[in-house]
């Protein structure tokens, strides 16, 4: 939580529909450098679509995404997307590649780093997430928590300006979420700019600068965790928080 006023990511009035289903109905938000923002909301409410539209994995129908003031357009997309890392719910590691090769791949192909430089950086990032001793394992030889930490190391090795996390712990057994949350808290405290879709109340309370609550493709409410958890303004937010904070204490 070493937030500055310098804007890294600006999302302006994003719209996205699939057929006649309007999934995003005008979503706007900004992230300043070092800010960690957590997006919450019921299943099907458009959270993954929002992240996918931000890096144009799914192109938005309307609205703009600006990175450090520069809009993402078809012409700038390839050059700019490398600055936006994505951590997926299901890790998305290449199963036929060792952990170290997963962490080297984007560095080699996209950043054109030498093998030595990519290896050195991969080992630094694996060290950072506590996986240096698993560098030469295949993903299937790791626990889900280790696989997710490897995918975070892969994201970090690309020197992203912002990391988008899509429910990074929701595919994990409960006993494995803690190790991933610990790494994410560490990144937030070191000043990484992060937009995190997650219902991890522990992370949200202690590491988030702001919580954004989405419902039906729009932002219903946003604010610092202390306010949002203690004093939600909207009934939908209250009902949702009741469910997830109840799960936390169960």
Ligand X SMILES: Nc1ncnc2c1ncn2[C@@H]1O[C@H](COP(=O)(O)OP(=O)(O)O)[C@@H](O)[C@H]1O
Interface with ligand X (CB under 6 A): 18, 23, 41, 43-49
CA distance 165 to 51: 8
Choose among ligand X, Mg ion, none what residue 192 binds, the Cβ cut-off being 5 to 8 Å by kind: none
- Measured from the CB atom, the residue of 155 and 214 that comes closer to ligand X is 214
Q: What is the dihedral of CA 193, 203, 212, 63, to 10 degrees?
A: 40
Q: Does 48 bind Mg ion (CB under 5 A)?
A: yes
Choose among Mg ion, ligand X, none what residue 23 binds, the Cβ cut-off being 5 to 8 Å by kind: ligand X
- Measured from the CB atom, the residue of 24 and 131 that comes closer to ligand X is 24
Choose among ligand X, Mg ion, none what residue 43 binds, the Cβ cut-off being 5 to 8 Å by kind: ligand X
Q: Does 55 bind Mg ion (CB under 5 A)?
A: no
Choose among Mg ion, ligand X, none what residue 147 binds, the Cβ cut-off being 5 to 8 Å by kind: none
In angstroms, give the least distance from the CB of 167 to Mg ion. 6
Q: Does 49 bind Mg ion (CB under 5 A)?
A: no
- Measured from the CB atom, the residue of 125 and 166 that comes closer to Mg ion is 166
Please say whether the beta carbons of 56 and 65 come within 8 A. Answer: yes
- Measured from the CB atom, the residue of 43 and 78 that comes closer to Mg ion is 43
Return residues touching Mg ion (CB under 5 A). Answer: 47-48
């Amino acid at each position: 939580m070493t937030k500055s006023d310098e804007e890294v990511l600006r999302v302006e009035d994003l719209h996205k529909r699939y057929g006649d289903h309007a999934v995003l109905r005008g979503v706007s938000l900004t992230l300043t450098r070092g800010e960690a923002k957590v997006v919450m909301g019921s299943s099907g409410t458009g959270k993954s679509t929002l992240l996918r539209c931000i890096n144009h994995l799914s192109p938005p129908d309307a609205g703009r995404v600006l990175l450090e003031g520069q809009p993402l357009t078809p012409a700038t997309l390839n050059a700019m997307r490398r600055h936006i890392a994505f951590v997926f719910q299901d890790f998305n590691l290449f199963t036929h590649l060792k952990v170290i090769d997963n962490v080297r791949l984007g560095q080699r192909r996209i950043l054109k780093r030498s093998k030595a430089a990519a290896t050195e950086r991969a080992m630094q990032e694996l060290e950072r997430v506590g996986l240096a001793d698993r560098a030469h394992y295949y993903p299937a030889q790791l626990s889900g928590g280790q696989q997710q930490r490897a995918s975070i190391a892969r994201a970090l090795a690309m020197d992203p300006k912002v990391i988008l996390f899509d429910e990074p712990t929701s595919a994990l057994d409960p006993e494995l979420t803690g190790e991933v949350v610990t790494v994410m808290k560490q990144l937030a405290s070191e000043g990484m700019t992060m937009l995190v879709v997650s219902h991890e109340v522990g992370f949200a309370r202690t590491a988030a600068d702001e919580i954004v609550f989405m419902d039906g493709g729009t932002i219903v409410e946003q604010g610092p965790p202390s306010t949002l958890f203690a004093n939600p303004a909207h009934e939908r937010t209250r009902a949702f928080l009741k469910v997830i904070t109840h799960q936390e204490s169960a």
